[in-house]
Amino acid sequence: MNHVVRRALTPSILLCLPLIAASCSSDPTTSYCEALCDWAVTCAEGERSVDADALREQCLTEARATDETCADAEEGKINAATAKILEPCVTAIESAESAGECDGFTGRIDDLKTATTPGECAGQGTDAQAVFDTVRESTEETSDELCNRFTETFCGQLDTCIVSAYYPGGEVPTDVTDITGTPVEVCIDNLSPVTDICLTNGLYEPEENLDDVNVARQGARECLDGIADISCDDLLAGNLPEFCAGSFLNNDDLLTFGTALFETAVTFQEMAE
């Protein structure tokens, strides 16, 4: 008769089993941090001009500092069970990115306040929302960037209106720009006093706490979101809508800004006559 010899599991062998399981590694995979940063940077690119590579690296550095397990996934050091939990989370994030769901990163203040990581990412632990918030903060527009974007966007819009109103050929002739500069250049120069105030005062600093809203910052973002709805007649006359009023430190700056738009328009109107 054949006898099967069964070896008892000694305490030492039992202790080794968890260690063996824990050391099991998989192929490097997209981490929670990488997926979130890719999503946030894509949203930032849709809102403004950014250095995507630099912004992503900044995001990853801060996200990994919040969740050190991200590096394990990226280096293939997570076990199969952990990888299985991570997969639907990354898929959900990538789907949201593909669908252009950006309110949690570049939406209005109320959207930012209520933004949460996808439900599929609950398995990433108690720090899952903290990582999401870190990613949002690390990719948000700085005060200086928003100050400059505010001016440049208005000047670009004004340029379109000037050409449409005064230059039927579709562009400002070079014999005009050789004397004055382009409408955008003249506009940016005329608006520089207000832009400098914005930059010097950090007027559009991101909120440290979303419940303590920086009214000027959110006013500027709302104004830029609606700039396409401002008529050329109003822009050429230097009239800003009420929803842009909160973008400025005070009414004097609002008046200075509107006057600069008007004076820029008059310069090219006169050159066209």
Give alpha helix (H) positions in the chain.
11-23, 32-47, 52-66, 69-74, 80-98, 103-106, 109-114, 128-139, 143-166, 174-180, 183-201, 215-225, 232-237, 251-272
Which sign does the torsion angle of CA 137, 142, 147, 148 carry? negative
Same domain, 148 and 253: yes
In this structure, are 188 and 248 located in the same domain? yes
Residue numbers of the domain that contains 87: 27-139
Only one residue has tokens 């997926």, namely: 35
186 and 124 in one domain? no
Q: Give per-10-residue mean pLDDT for the chain (273 aa).
A: 40 37 67 98 98 98 96 94 96 98 97 97 95 98 98 98 96 97 98 98 97 97 97 98 96 97 98 94
Q: Are residues 131 and 152 in the same domain?
A: no
* End position of a domain, from candidates 139, 155, 185: 139
259 part of a folded domain = yes
User: Is the same domain home to 160 and 246?
Assistant: yes
Burial label for 138, CB within 10 Å (0-12, 13-18, 19+), is buried
User: Whose CA is closest to 89, among 127, 47, 136, 59?
Assistant: 127
Q: Tell whether 151 and 36 lie within a shared domain.
A: no
Q: Are residues 157 and 265 in the same domain?
A: yes
pLDDT of residue 27: 84
pLDDT in the model for residue 26: 67
Asked if residue 126 and residue 150 are part of one domain, the reply reads: no
For 144-161, the pLDDT digits (tens) are 999 999 999 999 999 999
Same domain, 173 and 56: no
Say yes or no: 126 and 158 in one domain.
Answer: no
3 within a domain of the structure (yes/no): no
In a domain, 194, yes or no: yes
Question: Is residue 8 in some structural domain?
Answer: no
For residue 15, is it within any domain? no
Q: Per the domain annotation, does 240 fall within a domain?
A: yes
Q: Specify the number of domains making up the chain.
A: 2
| Count of C-beta atoms within a 10 Å radius of residue 98 | 10
Global pTM reads: 0.88
Same domain, residue pair 162 and 69:
no
pLDDT at 86: 97
Within-domain flag for 21: no
**Most distant CA atoms of the chain, gap in Å:** 114
Q: What pLDDT does 19 receive? A: 40
Q: How far apart are CA 203 and CA 185, in angstroms?
A: 23
Residue after which a domain boundary falls, among 139, 169, 201: 139
Q: What does DSSP assign to residue 240?
A: P
- Assigned domain for 4 exists: no
Q: What is the pLDDT of residue 89?
A: 98
Q: Cβ distance 115 to 103 under 8 Å?
A: yes
Q: Mark which of 139, 157, 174 sits at the end of a domain.
A: 139
Give yes or no: residues 164 and 242 share one domain. yes
What is the distance between the alpha carbons of residues 35 and 216, in angstroms, rounded to a whole number?
31
